[in-house]
């Protein structure tokens, strides 16, 4: 392999890789379906043309055969007239021969039209099979494209979610929560410690009253009420 050929193949391979990279699967699939449907329409149009030609040639065949039968009948009628003595033999035979040749020529044309019609009808059978196969391919393509679109949508959503999740530092976030939990726990311990320290600074009377749930001080109004009760 020559140097230029190797360079060409490498360049072609890289170009194909670039094209493949930028190909949109859904757009390409829709393009495939459009081309299949365009081919189908072209095939249908071609089939219609061939069918029209076959019908025309069959009609021409029937027309030519009818004409041949008419010429044959005329030849027989002329021969009958010659045999019956109603027509000069030389003239009648000459006219009968002309009619017979015309009839033979008409039948020849009929056979030619029949041959063309046969070929066209055989072509139609092949075309109908191919068109049916194309219809099946279109149906298959539509089903596959619908499935492909569904898969692509799922893959796109999954890719976005997974890409987002791949950028999330879950360990770091959970570590932050652990630190915050430790801070709150430490704060709770400090609060409890301050409460215990406060309790140690109470006087004996305050400690007793705290335990008994009473207060050592009384208001001035309570004292007045006590005296009023004593005077009653």
How far is Cα 231 from Cα 221, in angstroms, rounded to an integer?
16
pTM of structure? 0.56
Rg over alpha carbons for the chain, rounded to the nearest Å, is 55
Give the end-to-end CA distance of the chain in Å, rounded to a whole number.
Answer: 133
> Where do we find the tokens 């379906």?
33
Whole-number pLDDT of residue 24: 86
* 199-221 per-position pLDDT tens digit: 566 566 666 666 666 555 556 77
Give the residue, 162 or 19, on which the prediction is more confident: 162
Q: Judge residue 75's burial from the number of C-beta atoms within 10 Å of its C-beta, 0-12 exposed, 13-18 middle, 19 or more buried.
A: buried
What percentage of the chain has pLDDT greater than the value 70?
78
176 membership: H or E segment, kind and range: helix 170-200
Q: Among 98-107, 130-139, 163-172, which is the least confidently predicted range?
A: 163-172
Handedness of CA 141, 143, 147, 149 (dihedral sign): positive
pLDDT recorded at residue 98? 95
Question: Could you tell me the pLDDT band of residue 25, with boundaries at 50, 70 and 90?
Answer: confident
* Predicted pLDDT at 7: 47
Count of Cβ atoms closer than 10 Å to residue 56 Cβ: 14
Q: How many whole angstroms separate alpha carbon 93 and alpha carbon 128? A: 51
Mean pLDDT of the 20-47 span: 87
Tokens of 206: 């305050």
Residue holding tokens 């530092």?
A: 169
Question: If pLDDT is split at 50, 70 and 90, which confidence band does 61 have?
Answer: very high
Q: Is the separation of the CB atoms in 96 and 78 below 8 Å?
A: yes
Residue 74 CB burial class (10 angstroms; 0-12, 13-18, ≥19)? middle
Task: Quote the pLDDT of residue 18.
Answer: 44
Compute the CA torsion angle 206, 210, 216, 221 (nearest 10 deg).
140
Q: Look-up: residue for tokens 């301050």? A: 194
The pLDDT of residue 19 is 44
Beta-carbon-side half-sphere exposure of residue 203 (alpha carbons within 13 Å): 5
DSSP letter for 85, please.
T
Distance CA 27, CA 34 (A): 10
Q: Tell me the per-residue pLDDT of 89-120, one tens digit each, with 9 for 90 and over.
A: 999 999 999 999 999 999 999 999 999 999 99
Q: Per-residue pLDDT for 46 more than 90?
A: yes
Tokens of 163: 């890409």
């Amino acid at each position: 392999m020559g140097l230029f050929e190797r360079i060409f193949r490498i360049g072609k391979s890289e170009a194909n890789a670039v094209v493949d990279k930028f190909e949109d699967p859904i757009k390409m699939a829709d393009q495939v379906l459009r081309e299949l449907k365009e081919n189908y329409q072209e095939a249908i149009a071609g089939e219609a043309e061939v069918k029209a030609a076959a019908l025309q040639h069959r009609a021409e065949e029937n027309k030519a055969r009818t004409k041949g039968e008419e010429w044959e009948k005329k030849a027989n009628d002329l021969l009958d007239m010659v045999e019956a003595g109603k027509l000069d033999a030389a003239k009648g035979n000459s006219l009968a021969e002309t009619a017979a040749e015309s009839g033979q020529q008409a039948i020849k044309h009929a056979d030619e039209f029949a041959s063309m019609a046969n070929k066209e009808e055989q072509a139609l059978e092949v075309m109908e099979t191919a068109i049916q196969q194309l219809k099946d391919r279109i149906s298959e393509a539509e089903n596959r494209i619908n499935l492909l679109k569904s898969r692509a949508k799922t893959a796109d959503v999954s890719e976005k979610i997974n890409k987002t999740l791949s950028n999330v530092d879950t360990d770091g976030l959970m570590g932050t929560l652990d630190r915050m939990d430790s801070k709150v726990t430490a704060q709770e311990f400090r609060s409890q410690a301050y409460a215990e320290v406060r309790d140690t600074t109470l006087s004996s009377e305050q400690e007793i009253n705290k335990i008994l749930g009473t207060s050592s001080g009384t208001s001035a109004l309570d004292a007045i009420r006590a005296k009023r009760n004593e005077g009653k």
